[in-house]
């Protein structure tokens, strides 16, 4: 009987071990340790011996002694199984790759957990790690001082978080490639914005230095971690560029779709909704809340790190990308134009939408068009909608009065991946808003097959560009090609917009600006094209001015001289608040032209002989008056017409040098056009009396 009872007890104990929840200690991490470094706290511990767990991290100003402290106010984030494993590189390289948590240290092991906290304040803080079973939803809140909680606090302070060097390899072309990981989380400080909504995660990028320069131009590639990141599909010109730094970033989230080299998903270099779970393949489509530009935050942080800690020329920073990489590069340029010199984008879309269920989970539906956390460039009191941020035409519109970087784009009429039909409209938008954009197109496919332009012919001229030098943006050039209406067989098979125009010798003072403009030879596919134009006209918009800044309402006088120094054109424009100066219809020849703009004290006696009067119409008492200033005695003609073109008033005056005010009379209340002529100059004002 005793033996039978003993057998039953043993069997009952076995059932408890198999079918009942394990004891609290069995689901508790051990060996928790922490260290502060460069504005972050690195936490490491020994995982529990089972998978399917989430490791939750708590932070407090007092030691953790009671499960009551494991509450929402102290919770900061979580990681999953194998958090010390570099899942992205492991899948790409098809072998286990583990993170180093400090430069020069050994890689962490398979049984180690890792969480990196971004510090947001100065102080002493304790940490605790608990284990959440994902299948049951049960969190083990057992606290074991010295094992899953810290006995001593970590001394923290805010600083610029630095990426951690992981390892280095040598590619077949001789490049020494350094792999780095930037550990981002759901916290931000003054140096870096949040990178996700869950918790600690390791984001990879590579660094290459070529040559021995004192200061290097920097190329940021949005192309991933492998050798094809900087070669192929339109990027071959970068194979031999020297004396530069190259960083290539990755866009990857651990979407649970296997362990092959193509496992995971991208965010199209933008981000995702604040409620999206990157570890799940079944998220609800959001109908409210904010879409966060997490990926853009990471790109911008990497650029800031390079500017601060690498020997780069901060006036020469370029973004490069193919397909969605090029698309993301233009978005970044529109977000931080003051830090980007130029963009080279190949075969990129001009807009992305929620065209399938998964993208709708990331961004919400197109009709919902949720708000983002990106400020509206045209309205500082509002933020962009997600499908404004993800529409390059909308971004150009929002940035119409800002000086964007130089943008060089290449597209293919046979590109079935990103399509062709919307590209002519994209080109038109850039022309309309006078963007500093150059476009090339041909019959290429998405992978570059059947291209007619050589890479060297479409390459952005990075050697001659800098952030601290003004430049002319061309639009409406008479030598532009015809991309057609969006059908692949419509318009020119290959061509360019603004690709035949260039400039040199920019010079500025407070009241003068000068630049040389040139029409280039038309060479495509290495061949000089037939019927070469020798001259053209184009609108010229001055961008990124450094010194030449006229007050609003100021008359600016412009002159166009040919290569012999002869004046071929002149005219005036009026400075407007926040609007770039545009000179219309400038003649440009292959021999070169010099365009000069002047106002105020920069007008010499010789130029004053040819300058136009300054004139405007303004209210005066109960009526109107014409205010006109002339540099020398001059005859003027004035006429006033109604909407039907009937003369209501016509008068000639002889004015002496100086400013004079002439009354305007209208017979009945109506809309009138006031026209003033002084020599070859004409003005018109439309007023309502």
Write the CATH number for 55.
2.60.40.10
Residue 679: per-residue pLDDT: 66
Q: What percent of the chain has pLDDT over 90?
A: 77
CA distance 78 to 73: 14
| Structure confidence at residue 642 (pLDDT) | 73
Tell me: pLDDT of 225 over 90: yes
DSSP per residue over 230-251, as a string? Answer: GSSTT-GGGGS--SEEEEEE--
Q: Which of 228-237, 422-431, 469-478 has the lowest mean pLDDT?
A: 228-237
633-646: average pLDDT? 74
Residues 568 and 642 in one domain: no
Q: Which residues pair with 233 in a beta bridge?
A: none
Same domain, 276 and 416: yes
Rg (CA), the chain: 32
61 φ, ψ to 5°?
Answer: -80, -10
Distance CA 369, CA 353 (A): 10
Do 168 and 249 lie in one domain? The reply is yes
Q: Residue 621: pLDDT band by 50, 70, 90 thresholds?
A: confident
Are the CB atoms for 531 and 570 separated by under 8 Å?
no
**Segment 486-515, tens digit of pLDDT:** 999 999 999 999 999 999 999 999 999 999
Edge-to-edge strand list for the sheet holding 495-497: 164-170, 176-184, 201-210, 244-249, 216-221, 312-322, 342-346, 406-412, 437-442, 495-497
Specify if 624 maps to a domain. yes
| pLDDT higher than 50, residue 10 | no
Coil vs helix vs strand at 536:
strand
Q: Which of 611, 633, 649 is the last residue of a domain?
A: 611
143 and 192 together in one domain:
no
CATH value at residue 431: 3.40.50.1820
**What is the secondary structure of 146-180 as a DSSP string?**
TTTB-SSPEEE-------EEEEEEE-TTS-EEEEE
What percentage of the chain reaches a pLDDT higher than 70? 93
Residues 123 and 250 in one domain: no
Say which residues have a Cβ less than 8 Å from residue 284's Cβ, sequence separation at least 6: 275, 361
Residues 193 and 57 both lie in one domain: no
Predicted pLDDT at 588: 98
Distance CA 492, CA 646 (A): 47
Residue range 352-372: average pLDDT? 93
* pLDDT the model gives residue 681: 67
Element (H, E) at 540: strand 535-543
Q: What is the pLDDT of residues 56-87, one digit of tens each?
A: 999 999 999 999 999 999 999 999 999 999 99
**Cα 566 to Cα 591: distance, rounded to the nearest angstrom:** 13
Please count the CA atoms within 13 angstroms of the CA of 520 that sit on its side-chain side: 15
Is the same domain home to 503 and 607?
yes
pLDDT of 593 over the 60 cut: yes
Distance CA 306, CA 205 (A): 12
CB-based contact 119:38 (threshold 8 Å):
no
- In DSSP terms, 440 is beta-bridged to 410, 496
Q: Which of 390, 320, 318 is nearest to 350 (CA)?
A: 390
Q: What is the pLDDT of residue 30?
A: 96
What is the separation of C-alpha 189 from the centre of its chain, rounded to a whole number of angstroms? Answer: 21
Out of 581, 611, 641, a domain closes at 611
Q: Which two tokens stand for residue 335?
A: 């977000």
The DSSP result for 295-344, as a single string, is HHHHHHHHHHHHHHHS-EEEEEEEEEEETHHHHHHHHHHHHSGGG--EEE
Report the 10 Å Cβ neighbour count for 291.
Answer: 29
pLDDT at 355: 78
Whole-number pLDDT of residue 612: 65
Quote the mean pLDDT of the chain.
91
279 and 386: one domain? yes
Whole-number Å distance between alpha carbons of 168 and 656: 77
- Rounded Cα distance between 435 and 36, Å, is 45
- CA–CA separation, 539 and 476 (whole Å): 6
3 state SS of 396: helix
Domain-embedded: residue 588: yes
- What pLDDT band is residue 157 in, cutting at 50, 70 and 90? very high
Please check whether residues 643 and 600 belong to one and the same domain. no
Could you tell me which residue, 608 or 499, shows the higher pLDDT?
A: 499
Q: Tell me how far apart the alpha carbons of residues 135 and 30 are, in angstroms, rounded to a whole number.
A: 22
In-domain check, residue 511? yes
Confidence of residue 109 (pLDDT cuts 50, 70, 90): very high
Given 583, 611, 639, the domain boundary residue is 611
- For residue 457, is it within any domain? no
Per-residue pLDDT tens over the stretch 456-479: 999 999 999 999 999 999 999 999
What tokens were used for 215? Answer: 């200061």
Q: Do the Cβ atoms of 54 and 278 come closer than 8 Å? A: no
Q: Note the pLDDT of residue 604.
A: 67
672 touches 642 (CB < 8 A): yes
| Residue 555: pLDDT over 60 | yes
Structure-model confidence comparison of residues 204 and 646, the more confident one: 204
Q: Could you tell me if 350 and 219 lie in one domain?
A: yes
In a domain, residue 6? The reply is no
110 or 626: whose pLDDT is higher?
110
Which pLDDT score, from 0 to 100, does residue 384 have?
97
- Give the alpha-carbon dihedral of 263, 265, 266, 272, to 10 degrees: -160
Give the structural domain span for 280: 164-435
CA–CA gap between residue 295 and residue 389 (Å, rounded): 13
Residue 16 falls inside a structural domain: no
pLDDT of 3 strictly over 80: no
Q: Which two tokens stand for residue 158?
A: 């805010």
Same domain, 188 and 78: no
Counting the structural domains of the chain, the total is: 4
Token pair of 474 as six digits: 């061309």
Residue 189 lies in a domain: yes
Structural tokens at position 553: 């309402």
Answer whether 373's CB lies under 8 Å from 271's CB.
Answer: no
Candidates 74, 68, 73, 79; CA nearest to 29 is: 79
pLDDT tens readout for residues 239-252: 989 999 999 999 99
Residue 497 falls inside a structural domain: yes
The pLDDT score that the predictor gives to residue 650 is: 79
Position 451 pLDDT exceeds 60: yes
**Amino acid 202: pLDDT:** 97
Q: Where are the alpha helices (DSSP H) in 560-639?
A: 605-608
pLDDT at 17 over 70: no
Same domain, 332 and 261: yes
């Amino acid at each position: 009987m005793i033996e039978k009872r003993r057998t039953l007890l043993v069997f009952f104990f076995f059932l408890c071990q198999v079918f009942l929840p394990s004891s609290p200690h069995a689901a508790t991490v051990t060996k928790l340790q922490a260290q502060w470094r460069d504005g972050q706290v690195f936490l490491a511990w020994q995982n529990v011996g089972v998978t399917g767990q989430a490791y939750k991290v708590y932070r407090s100003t007092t030691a953790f002694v009671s499960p009551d402290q494991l509450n929402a106010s102290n919770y900061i984030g979580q990681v999953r199984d194998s958090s010390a494993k570099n899942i992205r590189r492991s899948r790409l390289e098809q072998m286990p790759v583990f993170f180093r948590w400090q430069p020069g240290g050994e890689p962490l092991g398979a049984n180690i957990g890792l969480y990196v906290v971004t510090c947001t304040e100065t102080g002493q803080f304790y940490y605790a790690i608990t284990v959440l079973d994902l299948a049951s939803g049960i969190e083990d809140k057992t606290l074991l001082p010295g094992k899953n909680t810290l006995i001593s606090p970590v001394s923290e302070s805010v600083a610029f978080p630095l990426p951690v060097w992981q390892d280095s390899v040598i590619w077949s072309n001789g490049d020494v490639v350094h792999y780095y990981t930037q550990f981002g989380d759901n916290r931000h400080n003054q140096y870096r914005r949040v990178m996700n909504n869950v918790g600690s995660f390791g984001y990879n990028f590579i660094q290459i230095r070529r040559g021995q320069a004192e200061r290097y131009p920097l190329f940021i590639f949005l192309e991933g971690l492998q050798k094809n990141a900087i070669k192929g599909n339109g990027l071959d010109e970068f194979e031999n560029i020297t004396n530069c730094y190259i960083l290539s970033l990755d866009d990857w989230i651990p979407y649970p779709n296997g362990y092959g080299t193509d496992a995971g998903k991208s965010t199209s270099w933008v981000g995702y909704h604040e409620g999206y779970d990157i570890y799940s393949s079944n998220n609800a489509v959001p109908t409210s809340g904010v879409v966060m530009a997490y990926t853009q935050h990471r790109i911008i942080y990497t650029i800031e790190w390079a500017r601060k800690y690498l020997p780069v020329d901060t006036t020469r920073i370029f973004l490069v990308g193919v397909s969605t990489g090029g698309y993301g590069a233009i978005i970044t340029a529109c977000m931080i134009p003051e830090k980007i010199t130029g963009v080279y984008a190949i075969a990129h879309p001009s807009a992305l939408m929620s065209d399938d269920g998964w993208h709708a989970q990331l961004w919400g539906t197109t009709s919902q068009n949720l708000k983002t956390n990106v400020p509206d460039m045209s309205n500082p009191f509002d933020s962009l909608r997600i499908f404004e941020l993800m529409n390059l035409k909308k971004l150009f519109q929002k940035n119409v009065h800002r000086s964007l970087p130089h943008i060089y784009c290449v597209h293919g009429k046979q590109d079935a991946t990103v399509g062709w039909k919307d590209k002519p409209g994209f080109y038109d938008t850039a022309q309309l808003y006078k963007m500093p954009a150059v476009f090339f197109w041909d019959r290429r496919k998405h992978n570059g097959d059947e291209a007619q332009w050589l890479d060297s012919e479409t390459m952005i001229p990075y050697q001659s560009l800098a952030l601290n030098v003004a430049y002319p943006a061309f639009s409406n050039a008479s030598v532009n090609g015809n991309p057609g209406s969006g059908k692949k067989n419509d318009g020119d098979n290959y061509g360019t917009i603004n690709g035949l125009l260039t400039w040199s010798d920019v010079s500025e003072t407070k009241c003068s600006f000068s630049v040389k403009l040139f029409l280039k030879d038309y060479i495509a596919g290495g061949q000089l094209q037939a019927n070469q134009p020798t001259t053209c006209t184009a609108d010229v918009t001055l961008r990124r001015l450094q010194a030449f800044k006229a007050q609003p309402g100021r008359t600016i006088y412009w002159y166009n001289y040919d290569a012999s120094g002869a004046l071929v054109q002149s005219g005036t424009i009026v400075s407007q608040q926040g609007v770039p100066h545009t000179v219309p219809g400038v003649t440009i020849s292959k021999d070169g032209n010099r365009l000069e703009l002047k106002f105020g004290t920069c007008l010499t006696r010789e130029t004053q002989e040819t300058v136009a009067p300054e004139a405007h119409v303004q209210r005066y008492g109960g009526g109107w008056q014409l205010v006109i200033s002339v540099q020398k005695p001059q005859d003027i003609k004035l006429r006033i017409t109604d909407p039907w073109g009937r003369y209501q008033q016509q008068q000639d005056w002889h004015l002496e040098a100086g400013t004079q005010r002439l009354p305007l009379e209208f017979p009945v209340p109506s809309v009138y056009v006031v026209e003033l002529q002084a020599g070859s100059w004409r003005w018109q004002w439309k007023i309502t009396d």
